[in-house]
Amino acid sequence: MSESKETLTAEAPRSRRLLDRFARHLGVSFERKQEIYISLSQSASLLDASYWLQILFAAGIATLGLILNSPAVIIGAMLISPLMGPILASGLALATGDFILAVRAIVNLALSCAISVSFAVILVALLPFKEMTGEIAARTQPTTLDLFVALFSGAIGSIATCKDVKGVVTSIPGVAIAVALMPPLCVIGYGMGVAFSVNEADGLRVASGGGLLFLTNLVAITFTAMLVFLLLRIATAHRKKTVEDWQNRDAETLWFRKTLGKFPLSNSAKAVGSLPGRLLMILIPILIILVPLSRSFSQLKTEIERQKQENHVKAEATKVWDGRFAKFPDGKPRSYLDRLVVQDGPQVGLSLRVFTSKPYSPAEKAEYVALLSASLHKPRESIDFKLIEIPTTSNEIVTKSKQEEKPAEEPPTISQLQANFLYGVASALKDFRLPAPAIFVDFKAIASQGAPLTLTVIYLSERDIDSDAQALLTDQIRSSLADSTAVINFQRIPFVAGRIAFGRNRATLSLADQKSLDSVANIMLDHPLLVLDISAGRDKNESEDIVQTRNTAISDYITAQNPVLSSRIKTGSGDELSRVAILKYMIK
C-alpha cells in the first residue's frame, strides 16, 4: 500500500491526518517530502566545488561591502551565499535523528565558517584602511529582536524549501536577505584582522559581536527548521527506507559511515536520543544566547530612550531660541543657530554655537535658561547652558528680501566677506562625520585670490586617520563644498593633552609644566568645543586631599591666564599608584 493511501485511511491517528492535511495546504506533496530529504542531504556535501566557490566569493563580496559601507553589495553577498542549505540540513537531522546527516552538516558548516572568516581576515589585512563603518557596527550588538528575526526567517525558509516549485520562487531570496548569514561571519574576519594589525581590544570586541549574531541566526534557523520538518512529517518509516537506499549508494555518506565506525564512541553517539532530548539539545544554546542578547536589548532600549529625550531637548531648545532670541525686537535677524549639542542626564548639558551680529548679555542667557527650563518642566539648576558666540555682521543672517530691496547697498567690508565665507564653509560641514574613533572638533579655512581653498579638518583621535580614508573624506568634503579643487588637510589633536608629574606630597608646577599648560590653553582657546578633563593621581603613602590640591593647582594656573576657560575644565581622581595628573581633551 502506498504512503498516500496509508495516510488517508480512517484508521490513521487523528494527529497524523491533521499534520498531513497541514502539509497539503502548504503545497508539500508526499513525493516532495522524499525529495526534500535527499536534496538537503546533498546540500551538506563536501565534494561540491560550486558550493565552495560560492562560499569564497560571497565572503569576499560581503567583506568588501562591509568596508565600503554599501548595503547593495552586502545584499548581493547574502543572495550568493549557500549557507542556508547545510543549516537546514542540520535542522532536518535533529528532526529525524539522522546521525550521519548531522555530522555531515556540522563538518560542512565548520569548514564554511573557517573559509569565510579566513578569507575576510586576508582581505582586511591587505587593505590599507580599516576604519569601522556603519554596516560593520550594526552587526556587533545583536539583540533579542535579531533572534526573533532569525526564528521567523528559519520557519519561512524551511517552508519555502519544502514547497513544490510553482512559477517564480520569491521566498528564498527574501529569507537570504532577512537572516544575513554571511555578513556576520565577515564581521568576525574584519574584527580579527583589526585585532592582528591595529588594536587587539577593539578587534576582538567587533569579532565577538559578529560571532554572537551568527550563532543567533544559526541556532534559531536550526530550531525552527527542526519544528517545520517535524510538522511536515518528513521522516516516516516508508520515507526513511527510501532515503537509506539512497544513502547506501552515496559514496560520501558511505565514507562518513566507515570513518565514524573507527571511533569507539561512534556507535553510542549514533543514538541521538529521543525527540525531547533532541529538542533540548537545540533549546539549551538558544537559552544561553538569550543572556547576552537580552543585555544588548536592554542597552538598546536605554539608548533609544536617551536619544528620544535628547531629541526632545534639542527641539525645545531650538524652538525657544528661534522664537525669542534669533531676531531683534523689530523682527530683523540677529543670529543663526549653527550647532546644538545635548548631553542628557541628571543635569542636562546644552551647548549652542551661533553666528550673531550682537553679543548676548548675561541677562539674556539667564532668560533663555529660564524659558527652556519652563518648556522642559525642569528646574533651572538642572540645565548646564553654554553659549559659543561667533561675532559677525554677515549678510547671510539678513534675509535675501532685504538684499533685493536695496540693490545698490554698500559693498561688504573685509570682515563681512570673511564672515560670509566662514558661514558658508560651516554650513557645508554641518552634517560632516568622521569614522570612529575620530571626533570632529573644528575647521580652519583659508581662501586667497588665485589660489584654491585650503581647509584643515581638526579632530580628536588616538591615532591618525588612514591615508585612504582621508582620500574618501576629501572627496566627500569637496562634494559638500561644490569645489573639486579644494585642498583638504587633516590635523589630529590627541585625546591625552599632557601629563604633569608631581613630587611626593607636592602640588607645585615647574616651569616646564607651566609651558605645557600654556600650550593646552592655547589649543582650547582656538577650539571652543574642547573641554579639559584633569585627573590627578597619588601614591598609597599620600593623603587623599593631595588629589584635589593638584587638580586645583593645574586648573587655577590655566584660568588665571585665561579666565574664559574656567567653565570648560573638569577635575576627577586618577591613578592611586601614580603621582601623575593626566589631562584629556573632551567635546562639550
Residue 45 has pLDDT above 60, yes or no: yes
What's the average model confidence in pLDDT over 168-188?
67
What's the average model confidence in pLDDT over 408-435?
63
Integer Cα distance of 438 and 426 in angstroms = 19
Residue 40 has pLDDT above 90, yes or no: no
pLDDT of residue 114: 95
Q: Predicted confidence band at 53 (pLDDT cuts at 50, 70, 90)?
A: very high
**Contact assessment for residue 470 and residue 490, using Cβ atoms and an 8 Å cutoff:** yes
**Contact assessment for residue 162 and residue 232, using Cβ atoms and an 8 Å cutoff:** yes
Q: Is residue 53 part of a domain?
A: yes
Domain boundary at 240, 272, 304, which?
272
Residues 6+ apart with CB under 8 A from 423: 336, 355, 392, 394, 396
Q: Are strands 496-501 and 487-493 parallel, antiparallel or unpaired?
A: unpaired
pLDDT of residue 109: 93
Q: Is residue 17 part of a domain?
A: no
Work out the number of other CB atoms within 10 angstroms of the CB of residue 388.
Answer: 14
Work out the number of other CB atoms within 10 angstroms of the CB of residue 291.
Answer: 9
φ, ψ of residue 433 in degrees (nearest 5):
-130, 145
Integer Cα distance of 467 and 488 in angstroms = 12
Asked whether the bond before 184 is cis by omega within 30 degrees of 0, the reply is no
User: CA nearest 574: which of 524, 534, 531?
Assistant: 534
Integer Cα distance of 189 and 210 in angstroms = 9
8-22 in b/e form (b: 16+ CB < 10 A) is: eeeeeeeeeeebbee
Q: Are strands 487-493 and 454-460 parallel, antiparallel or unpaired?
A: parallel
pLDDT of residue 392: 67
Q: Is residue 402 part of a domain?
A: no
Q: What is the SS3 string spanning 122-182?
A: HHHHHCCCCCCCHHHHCCCCCCHHHHHHHHHHHHHHHHHHHCCCCCCCCHHHHHHHHHCCH
Q: What is the per-residue pLDDT across 57-112, written as a single tens digit (0 to 9) for each?
A: 999 999 999 988 888 888 888 888 888 888 888 888 888 888 888 888 999 999 99
Q: Is residue 181 part of a domain?
A: yes
Residue 411 has pLDDT above 90, yes or no: no
Q: Is residue 350 part of a domain?
A: no
Integer Cα distance of 347 and 381 in angstroms = 8
Alpha helices in 337-466 (DSSP H): 362-376, 400-405, 414-428
Cα dihedral across residues 299, 300, 303, 309: positive or negative: negative
Integer Cα distance of 71 and 73 in angstroms = 6
Helix (H) / strand (E) containing 296? helix 275-324
Q: Which residue has the higher pLDDT, 212 or 236?
A: 212
**Contact assessment for residue 23 and residue 36, using Cβ atoms and an 8 Å cutoff:** no
Integer Cα distance of 368 and 380 in angstroms = 10
Tally of residues, the chain? 588
Which residues constitute the domain of residue 576? 496-587
Region class of 27: left (phi > 0), else alpha (psi between -120 and 50), else beta: left
417, amino acid identity: L
Region class of 531: left (phi > 0), else alpha (psi between -120 and 50), else beta: beta
**Contact assessment for residue 419 and residue 393, using Cβ atoms and an 8 Å cutoff:** yes
Domain boundary at 272, 288, 317, which?
272
The domain that contains 265 carries what CATH number?
Answer: 1.20.1080
Domain count of the fold of the chain:
2
Integer Cα distance of 531 and 520 in angstroms = 11
Q: Predicted confidence band at 448 (pLDDT cuts at 50, 70, 90)?
A: low
Q: What is the per-residue pLDDT across 192-227, written as a single tens digit (0 to 9) for each?
A: 998 888 778 888 888 999 999 999 989 988 998 888
Q: What is the per-residue pLDDT across 328-358, written as a single tens digit (0 to 9) for each?
A: 888 888 887 877 878 766 778 888 888 888 8
User: CA nearest 229: which of 393, 490, 22, 494?
Assistant: 22
What does pLDDT average to over the chain? Answer: 80
Helices 414-428 and 467-481 meet at what angle, rounded to 10? Answer: 120
What's the average model confidence in pLDDT over 118-146?
85
Integer Cα distance of 550 and 537 in angstroms = 8
Partners of 389 in the beta sheet?
A: 354
φ, ψ of residue 227 in degrees (nearest 5):
-65, -45
Domain boundary at 211, 245, 272, which?
272
Helices 275-324 and 144-162 meet at what angle, rounded to 10? Answer: 130
348, amino acid identity: V
What's the average model confidence in pLDDT over 466-487?
81
What's the average model confidence in pLDDT over 439-443?
86
Q: Predicted confidence band at 189 (pLDDT cuts at 50, 70, 90)?
A: very high
What's the average model confidence in pLDDT over 388-398?
63
Q: Is residue 254 part of a domain?
A: yes
Q: Predicted confidence band at 236 (pLDDT cuts at 50, 70, 90)?
A: low
48-64 in b/e form (b: 16+ CB < 10 A) is: beebbebbeebbbbbbb
Q: What is the per-residue pLDDT across 360-369, written as a single tens digit (0 to 9) for each?
A: 888 888 899 8
pTM for the whole structure: 0.58
The domain that contains 567 carries what CATH number?
Answer: 3.30.1330.60
Q: Is residue 420 part of a domain?
A: no
Q: Is residue 167 part of a domain?
A: yes
Residue 400 has pLDDT above 50, yes or no: no
